[in-house]
Structure 1
Amino acid sequence: MNKIKYVYLLALIAVMFSCEDAYNIDQPGRLTADAAFQTVDDLELGLLAVYNQWDLTPEISLAANFCDEVAVGFDSGGQGFALYDFVMNAASASAFDFWVRNFRVNNRATLVLEAANLVDGSEDQDRYNNILAQLHFIRAYANFEMLLYFSPDPQDDSTLAVPVIDFVAPTDIQPSRDTTGALWDYINSDVSAALNLSTVQSDPRFVSTDAINALRARMALTRGNNPQAESLATQLLGTYGLANTTQYQNMWLDIDNTEVILKLERTLNDSYDGQVNTGSVNTGGGWAGSVFAFVTATLAGSPYFEMDRSVFDALDPADVRYDVNVAPTSIISPDYPNDPDPINNDILVIQKYPGSEGRPLMNDLKVFRASEMLLIAAEARARQGNLTGAATLIKQLRDARFGTAQPLPAYGSQQEAIGAILDERKIELVYEGHRYKDLKRSGVDGNRGVDRDPIACTLQSGACTLPASDYRFTLPIPVVEINANPGIAAQQNPGY
Structure 2
Amino acid sequence: MKKLKTLFYAIAFVGALTSCSDTLDLAPEDYYASGNYWKTQAQFEGFMVGMHNSLRGDYSNVFVLGEARGGTQKFGTSTMSTSLNYSSPIKNNAFTKDQTGVGGWASYYGRILQVNLFIQKAEAATAAVLPDAAKNYLLGQAYGLRAYYYFQLYKTFGGVPIVTEPKPTTTSDPTKLSTARSTPKQTLDFVKQDVEKSEQYFSSDNFTLKSRRAMWSRAATLVLKGDVYLWSAKVAVGDQAPTDVSGDLTKAENALLAVKNSGKFGLLSKFEDVFSTSNKGNNEIIFAIRFADGEATNNAAEFLYQDAVFLNQYIGYNGKVMKDTLNLKGTGGVFRNEYKFELFASYDNADTRKRATFLDYYKVANGDTTVRAVVLRKFVGSINTTNNRVYDSDIPVYRYADVLLLLAEIANKKGEDPSGYINDIRKRAYGPTFPVYTNGTFEENELAILKERDKEFVWEGKRWYDLRRMQNAAGKPLAFAAAANYPATAPVLLETETHKLLWPIDVNTLNADPLLKDQQNPGY
Q: TM-score range by the shorter chain?
A: 0.7 to 0.9
Question: Which of 444, 449, 464 is the equivalent residue of 1:436?
Answer: 464
Distance 2:428 2:415 in 1: 25
Distance 1:310 1:227 in 2: 36
Residue 223 in 1 paired to residue 232 in 2? yes
Distance 1:173 1:307 in 2: 37
Which letter does structure 1 place at the counterpart of 2:446?
Answer: I
Deviations 1:117-140 (A, max 9, x none): 443234632122211211111111
Question: Which of 56, 61, 72 is the equivalent residue of 2:59?
Answer: 56
Q: Is the 2:51–2:115 Cα contact (8 Å) retained in structure 1?
A: yes
Which letter does structure 1 place at the counterpart of 2:509?
Answer: E
Q: Is the 2:405–2:422 Cα contact (8 Å) retained in structure 1?
A: yes
TM-score by length of 2: 0.75
From the superposition, tell whether residues 190 and 33 of structure 1 become closer, same or farther in structure 2 (CA, over 3 Å).
Answer: farther
Which letter does structure 2 place at the counterpart of 1:42?
Answer: Q
From the superposition, tell whether residues 311 and 131 of structure 1 become closer, same or farther in structure 2 (CA, over 3 Å).
Answer: same
Higher relative contact order (CA 8 A, sep 6+): 1
Q: Is the 2:84–2:337 Cα contact (8 Å) retained in structure 1?
A: no
Q: Is the 1:221–1:229 Cα contact (8 Å) retained in structure 2?
A: yes
Q: What SS does the corresponding residue of 2:347 show, helix, strand or coil? A: coil
1:334 Cα deviation (Å)?
A: 8.4
Distance 1:180 1:326 in 2: 38
From the superposition, tell whether residues 206 and 63 of structure 1 become closer, same or farther in structure 2 (CA, over 3 Å).
Answer: closer
From the superposition, tell whether residues 135 and 435 of structure 1 become closer, same or farther in structure 2 (CA, over 3 Å).
Answer: same
Distance 2:81 2:393 in 1: 23
Question: Which of 482, 485, 495 is the equivalent residue of 2:510?
Answer: 482
1:106 Cα deviation (Å)?
A: 1.3
From the superposition, tell whether residues 31 and 269 of structure 1 become closer, same or farther in structure 2 (CA, over 3 Å).
Answer: farther
Q: Is the 1:298–1:349 Cα contact (8 Å) retained in structure 2?
A: no
Q: Is the 1:381–1:390 Cα contact (8 Å) retained in structure 2?
A: yes
From the superposition, tell whether residues 44 and 93 of structure 1 become closer, same or farther in structure 2 (CA, over 3 Å).
Answer: farther
Distance 2:419 2:124 in 1: 52
Which letter does structure 1 place at the counterpart of 2:127?
Answer: G
Question: Which of 448, 460, 466 is the equivalent residue of 2:493?
Answer: 466
Q: Is the 2:140–2:218 Cα contact (8 Å) retained in structure 1?
A: no
Deviations 1:466-494 (A, max 9, x none): 24763222111222311311442312111
- Counterpart in 1 of 2:5? none
Which letter does structure 1 place at the counterpart of 2:267?
Answer: A
Distance 2:259 2:181 in 1: 35
Deviations 1:421-475 (A, max 9, x none): 11211111121111111111114355636623489xxxxxxx9842476322211
Q: For residues 179-328 of structure 1, what are the structure 2 equivalents within 5 Å?
A: 179-198=183-202, 199=205, 201-203=207-209, 204-224=213-233, 225-238=248-261, 239-240=263-264, 242-246=266-270, 248-256=271-279, 257-270=282-295, 272-273=296-297, 287-293=298-304, 301=332, 302-327=334-359
Distance 2:488 2:214 in 1: 40
Residue 367 in 1 paired to residue 397 in 2? yes
Q: 5+ residue gaps in structure 1? A: 1-7, 21-25, 152-160, 274-286, 456-462
From the superposition, tell whether residues 117 and 424 of structure 1 become closer, same or farther in structure 2 (CA, over 3 Å).
Answer: closer
Distance 1:422 1:467 in 2: 19
Deviations 1:400-441 (A, max 9, x none): 111224233234421221122112111111211111111111
Deviations 1:118-175 (A, max 9, x none): 4323463212221121111111110111111111xxxxxxxxx001111122545422
- Counterpart in 2 of 1:124? 131
Q: Is the 2:97–2:504 Cα contact (8 Å) retained in structure 1?
A: yes
From the superposition, tell whether residues 62 and 29 of structure 1 become closer, same or farther in structure 2 (CA, over 3 Å).
Answer: closer
Deviations 1:156-210 (A, max 9, x none): xxxxx00111112254542221122222232222222212222351312222221
Question: Which of 16, 28, 39 is the equivalent residue of 1:11?
Answer: 16
- Counterpart in 1 of 2:486? 452
Distance 1:411 1:30 in 2: 58
Matched positions, count: 440
- Counterpart in 2 of 1:68? 71
From the superposition, tell whether residues 486 and 196 of structure 1 become closer, same or farther in structure 2 (CA, over 3 Å).
Answer: same
Q: What SS does the corresponding residue of 1:306 show, helix, strand or coil? A: coil
- Counterpart in 1 of 2:120? 114
TM-score by length of 1: 0.79
- Counterpart in 1 of 2:8? none
Distance 1:255 1:31 in 2: 39
Q: Tell me the C-alpha RMSD between the 2 structures.
A: 3.2
* Structure whose residues are more often helix by fraction: 1
1:398 Cα deviation (Å)?
A: 0.1
From the superposition, tell whether residues 192 and 84 of structure 1 become closer, same or farther in structure 2 (CA, over 3 Å).
Answer: closer
Residue 381 in 1 paired to residue 411 in 2? yes
Distance 1:307 1:488 in 2: 37
Q: 5+ residue gaps in structure 2? A: 1-12, 170-175, 234-247, 308-325
